[in-house]
Each structure stands twice: as C-alpha cells, then as structure tokens.
C-alpha cells in the first residue's frame, strides 16, 4: 500500500513553518504588554551589577499571564550580562514539592561533573543541604533560584522547604542566593508562618490578566514568527484572542488555540486559516484541556470535584460548600480513603475555582449572614467520565446524596439558599476575598 504519511510531507507552503513558536515551552524575545513588569524585575536584579545581592521576588498572576516566561527570560538576560558570576536554577515546585527534591535539583544544577551529582534517593536532607551549600560557596557568585508554583512547595510542608531555602542565603558566605517565586495564589504570603515571612525580604510584582486587544497583539506576533501571516486571516486571530480573554485572559490557552487552528488547516490542505478552523480547534482544545486538567489533579481534589458533579446531578440548584463536603466524606468512605479536614477542603475548592472546574459565588442571606454557592460548569458528564478513569475512583459505584435544609431568603432574594453557617463557608469566603 502507498504510505499514507507521504501526503503530509513538507511542501513549499510549510518549508518555513515554525509552529514551535506556538508551543508552551517557547520563550519569545519580546513580551507585548509586559514592559512594566520586565522593567521592575530588571531594576531589582540589576543590583548584581553592583556586586550587591538583589531582593527576593514574588511574581503574582493567574495562569497564562506570562509570569514564568518573563521570569526565565529576565533571569537568563541577567546571566548573559554577567556570565561568570550568575547562575540561574529553575525548579517547578508542582513536580518537586519536597525539601529533598528541591535541594537535590538545585545542587545537581550547579555540579558540573556527572559522577559527582547527588542521587535522587538515599541521602539525608542535612547531607544534601551541606553539599548544596558547599557547591554554592565553591561557585562564589550569585545564585538565582526560580521557584515556579512556589505555593505548592509551601503548602505541602507548612513552609519548611521554603525556610530551608531562605536559610541558604544566610549560611552562604562567599556567594549570594536569591529566589524568584512564581504563584497564582494571591494570598500566598498570608499562608506562610512568621518565621518564613521574616526571612523573605521580598518585593512583589503583579501580572494582570490580558484583555482581548492585548491577546490579539501577542497572537499576531507569534503568527508572524510562524511564517504564515499571509495564510491566517485577521478574523481568526481576533476570534482566538476573544476566546482567550473570556477564559480569564490566559495567553497560553489563546496561543494553543491558534496553534491547533493552524494545524487543522494544514492537515486539511486549506489555503486560508479562518474562523471555521478556530471553532473546530476550540471544541477539540476544550476537551483535551478538560481531560488534562482533571488528570493532573491530586486524588482528594478529584474526589472533591466528583462530589460536586454527583451532588449537582441530584439537584440542579446551586450547591453550598457544606453539601459538597458531606458528600466528599461519603465518597472517601466508599473508596476507603481517609478524608481531609474542612479547612484543607476549603483550599482545594479555591484551587478548583481557580482552574475553572467549579464556579463559586458569595451570596448574602440578609440577617442570616453569607454563604458560598457552587456550580459545576458545562461538560459535567465529561468531567465525571474523566474522573472515573482514575485507578482509585474507577471503583466508585455511587452514593446516596444528602441535601442540607434550605430556606428562602428575604423578599428581594428570589433564589433558595441554605442558612446553615458552617466552617466551610467561612474558610472558603476568607480564601476568595
């Protein structure tokens, strides 16, 4: 048979095509609408040029606002300007969320000889710390440690890992250690213990969400880099930007949507990439992102989301946190999983809200106070399907869903809500306000 892949071989249209510039790992040379944040970072880190240690930096902003890309770019430019005296270490705390793994990765990033690198297991934390400190002293320069998703590191062990990293700056004599922390969690500092906050010496920079016009500028620049500017219609770029702006100004999602739109056009041998491609890509992308987002959740976040889905299945009215928490515990019992405390569940609900997997809104109950109501957006059936793909959750057979007593609000409040005041509502309200 004729090899079916031959028809997709390079031709004159895509010889100069560089879709890698639309990948999430691509770091561009310029960052539209991020000049203010870059200038702030450069001013703070420029103290290295005066042989003075810079402040620690905390970068805040929602997903897709350019925090990680800008941090990598600026720190690498610093290294380029001062190559003999600056070393940049990047660690993703979503993947390395323990003191052990962070110290090992940091040390191995400095150690040049492969035979001298620290093994991934078998050493004590104290031994790793001392070896890392020795390597830092040996380097005798400036170490910039970029900690992406730093809140994941701090939450898991009550800030112990962050405390150890900050202690390095005090213990290192011949070298200077600073870190750049990246987080989506605006209340990150409030979660830290006093002993950690007192050592931070941080300056904060906020990355606001992009609007549709800004996303369009970003997308058009990336499209120009692909070499397909003449093939991609302006209306397609504008539509991708509008969809991205609707998704909380997430540039990463908008860029991925543009990439999939172009790939669909290439596969179908289309001469122009238009709005039709974007709509097809959106349907494909949303399903892929939903599955990827759910698969990447920790076990208890999955159980909590499953609780929200099955609770909404029984009653389409907005749910309250107490209902979801009670049903979460029932699911844990069925799966023989130890349930978490209500305080920790409050954090997990906030994270699910940040990811767009649930929607939470605070409602006033007049003289009865306030409550937080929750809804699961579209694709709840797909959510349930993807959740049950988990090897632990796939044994879930269903539970009897409980409903808390609901009373009607005052005359000006037409919807029915609960008046039960429970710890969950207070916790979640404090996290989101």
Looking at the domain covering 4-21+211-294, what would its CATH class be?
mainly alpha
Q: How many helices (H) and strands (E) would you count in the chain?
A: 16, 10
Of 310, 284, 293, which Cα lies nearest the Cα of 376? 310
pLDDT, tens only, 33-53? 999 999 999 999 999 888 888
Helical (H) or strand (E) element with 157: none
Would you state the pLDDT for residue 322? 83
| Residue with the two structure tokens 């920079």 | 205
Domains 4-21+211-294 and 297-432 share a fold: no
Of 207, 90, 216, which Cα lies nearest the Cα of 148? 90
State the Cα–Cα distance between residues 21 and 32, nearest whole angstrom. Answer: 15
| Residue with the two structure tokens 């200077």 | 176
Of 249, 103, 106, 94, which Cα lies nearest the Cα of 182? 94
Q: Is 224 left (phi over 0), alpha (psi -120 to 50) or beta?
A: alpha
Looking at the domain covering 35-206, what would its CATH class be?
alpha beta
Length of the chain, in residues: 433
Q: Is 227 left (phi over 0), alpha (psi -120 to 50) or beta?
A: left
Burial class (CB in 10 A: 0-12, 13-18, 19+), 412: exposed
CA dist list (Å): 424 to 22, 98, 310, 321, 377 = 41, 28, 19, 6, 21
Q: Judge whether 61 and 127 are in contact, CB under 8 Å.
A: no
DSSP 8-state class, residue 318 = P
State the Cα–Cα distance between residues 417 and 336, nearest whole angstrom. Answer: 32
Would you state the pLDDT for residue 317? 62
Q: Which two tokens stand for residue 261?
A: 């739109």
Q: Which two tokens stand for residue 386?
A: 């993807």
Burial class (CB in 10 A: 0-12, 13-18, 19+), 330: middle
Terminus-to-terminus CA distance in the chain, angstroms? 63
Q: In sequence order, what are the residues at sequence separation of 6 or more whose Cβ sits closer than 8 angstroms to the Cβ of residue 52?
A: none
| Residue with the two structure tokens 């990811």 | 355
pLDDT, tens only, 398-424? 766 555 544 443 333 333 333 333 444
Q: Where do the structural domains in the chain lie, given as residue ranges?
A: 4-21+211-294, 35-206, 297-432
- Here the contacts of 389-393 (C-beta below 8 Å, separation 24 or greater) are 389/295, 390/295, 390/299, 390/302, 392/299, 392/335, 392/337, 393/302, 393/303, 393/306, 393/335
CATH code of the domain occupying 297-432: 1.10.10.10
- DSSP for 65-99 reads SSHHHHHHHHHHHHHHHSTTTEEEEEEETTT--SH
State the Cα–Cα distance between residues 75 and 202, nearest whole angstrom. Answer: 16
- pTM for this predicted structure: 0.66
State the Cα–Cα distance between residues 433 and 428, nearest whole angstrom. Answer: 9
Each residue's pLDDT, cut to its tens digit, for the chain (433 residues) gives 566 655 555 544 444 457 888 887 889 999 999 999 999 999 999 998 888 888 999 999 988 899 999 999 999 999 998 888 899 999 998 888 888 899 999 999 999 888 889 988 889 999 999 999 999 988 888 999 999 999 888 877 667 888 888 888 888 887 888 999 999 888 888 878 888 888 888 899 999 999 999 999 999 999 999 888 889 999 999 999 998 888 668 898 899 899 999 988 888 888 899 999 999 888 777 666 778 788 888 899 999 999 999 888 876 666 788 888 999 999 999 998 888 888 888 888 888 888 888 888 777 666 666 667 888 886 778 888 889 988 889 888 776 655 554 444 333 333 333 333 344 444 444 444 4
- Sign of the alpha-carbon dihedral angle for 294, 280, 223, 240: negative
Strand bridging mode 56-60 / 359-364? unpaired
């Amino acid at each position: 048979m004729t090899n079916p892949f031959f028809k997709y071989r390079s031709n004159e249209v895509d010889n100069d095509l560089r879709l890698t510039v639309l990948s999430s790992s691509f770091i561009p040379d310029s960052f539209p609408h991020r000049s203010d944040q870059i200038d702030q970072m450069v001013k703070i880190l420029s103290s290295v040029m005066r042989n003075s240690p810079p402040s620690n930096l905390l970068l805040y902003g929602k997903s897709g606002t350019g925090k990680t890309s800008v941090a990598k770019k600026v720190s690498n430019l610093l290294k380029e300007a001062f190559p003999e005296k600056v070393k940049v270490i990047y660690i993703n705390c979503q993947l390395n969320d323990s003191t052990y793994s962070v110290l090992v990765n940091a040390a191995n990033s400095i150690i040049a000889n492969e035979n001298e690198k620290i093994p991934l297991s078998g050493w004590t934390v104290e031994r790793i710390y001392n070896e890392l400190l020795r390597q830092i002293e040996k380097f005798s320069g400036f170490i910039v440690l970029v900690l992406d998703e730093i809140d994941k590191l701090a939450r898991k062990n009550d800030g112990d890992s962050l405390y150890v990293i900050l202690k390095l700056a005090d213990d290192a004599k011949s070298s200077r250690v600073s870190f750049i922390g990246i987080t989506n969690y605006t209340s990150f500092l409030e979660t830290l213990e006093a002993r950690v906050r007192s050592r931070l010496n941080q300056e904060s920079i906020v990355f606001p969400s992009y609007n549709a016009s800004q996303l369009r500028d970003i997308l058009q620049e990336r499209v120009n880099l692909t070499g397909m500017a003449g093939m991609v219609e302006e209306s397609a770029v504008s539509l991708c930007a509008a969809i991205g702006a609707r998704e909380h100004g997430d540039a990463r999602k908008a860029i991925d949507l543009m990439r999939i739109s172009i790939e669909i056009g290439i596969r179908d041998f289309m001469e122009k990439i238009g709005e039709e491609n974007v709509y097809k890509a959106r349907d494909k992308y949303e399903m892929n992102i939903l599955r990827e987002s759910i698969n990447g959740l920790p076990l208890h976040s999955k159980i909590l989301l499953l609780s929200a889905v099955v609770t909404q299945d029984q009653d389409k009215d907005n749910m309250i946190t107490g209902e979801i928490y009670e049903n979460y515990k029932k699911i844990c019992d069925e799966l023989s999983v130890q349930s978490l405390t209500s305080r920790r569940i409050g954090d997990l609900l906030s994270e699910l809200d940040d990811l767009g997997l649930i929607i939470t809104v605070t409602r006033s109950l007049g003289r009865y106070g306030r409550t937080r109501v929750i809804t699961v957006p579209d694709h709840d059936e797909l959510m349930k399907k993807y959740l049950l793909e988990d090897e632990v959750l796939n044994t879930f057979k269903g539970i009897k869903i409980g409903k808390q007593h609901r009373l009607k609000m005052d005359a000006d409040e037409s919807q029915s809500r609960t008046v039960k005041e429970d710890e969950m509502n207070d916790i979640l309200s404090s996290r989101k306000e």
